[in-house]
């Protein structure tokens, strides 16, 4: 039985794409080949089109358009009877617009554009919506908070710094993600203070 567009979107949007992405600089890219496979698994009747444009006053045809802002490719993906379009700039390895792209650069942009057009049907759409940003760190657990405060209580001549550290815990600047590093740093400080105190007693 043919699937409805809402059913297709629901299936695709719940797929975990995290293991099939690649991070380049601040951008995350979804594997176009994997995206095509997943789309066809959900909707075997899905199709797509790479749009072509006239160049040199109509004498040649190429799969990219020229504009005053640079070159662009366009891909349309049909799934569940719905067409969704995506336009993508032709960029170099520094993600800068290219005025005279070569075949490899055009092909790379088409692949990325295809992956994004498939994302409009639900697959990995959260990547482009910014939902791949890391979640805020969790605050310290009660046990972690107590462990730090007990360590601070053991440290002599550290009252002023202790107050600052407690304030950082309360504001969650010290949190679950940096708890171990904070403990290790405090222990190093404490050991250094103990060693210094022993040396001072020896000198006397």
Q: Quick: pLDDT tens for 134-187.
A: 456 788 999 999 999 988 888 766 677 888 888 888 988 888 878 888 888 888
Instruction: Yes or no: say if 119 and 128 are a contact pair by the CB < 8 Å rule.
Output: yes
Average of per-residue pLDDT values in the chain: 84
Q: Report the sign of the C-alpha dihedral through residues 112, 120, 23, 88, in that order.
A: positive
Q: Per residue in 23-70, pLDDT tens? A: 776 677 889 999 999 999 999 999 999 999 998 777 889 999 999 889
Tokens describing residue 123: 């697959």
Q: Per residue in 67-107, pLDDT tens? A: 988 999 999 999 999 999 999 999 987 788 888 999 999 99
- Helix count and strand count (H, E) for the chain: 7, 8
User: Which domains, from first to last, does the chain contain?
Assistant: 5-128 (3.30.390.80), 142-203 (no CATH)
pTM of the predicted model as reported, rounded to 2 decimal places: 0.61
């Amino acid at each position: 039985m043919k699937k409805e567009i809402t059913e297709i979107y629901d299936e695709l949007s719940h797929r975990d794409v995290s293991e099939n992405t690649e991070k380049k600089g601040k951008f995350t890219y979804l594997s176009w080949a994997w995206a095509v496979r997943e789309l066809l698994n959900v909707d075997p009747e899905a199709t797509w089109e790479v749009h072509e444009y006239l160049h040199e006053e109509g004498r040649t045809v190429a799969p990219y358009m020229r504009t005053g802002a640079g070159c662009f490719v366009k891909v349309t993906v049909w799934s569940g009877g719905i067409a969704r379009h995506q336009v993508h700039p032709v960029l170099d390895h520094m993600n800068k617009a290219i005025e005279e792209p070569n075949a490899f650069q055009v092909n790379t942009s088409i692949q990325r554009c295809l992956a994004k057009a498939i994302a409009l049907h639900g697959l990995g759409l959260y990547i482009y919506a910014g939902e791949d940003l890391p979640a805020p760190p969790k605050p310290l657990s009660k046990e972690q908070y107590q462990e730090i405060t007990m360590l601070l209580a053991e440290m002599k001549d550290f009252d002023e710094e202790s107050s600052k550290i407690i304030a950082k815990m309360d504001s969650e600047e010290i949190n679950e993600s940096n708890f171990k590093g904070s403990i290790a740093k405090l222990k190093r400080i404490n050991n250094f203070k103990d060693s210094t105190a022993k040396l001072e007693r020896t000198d006397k």
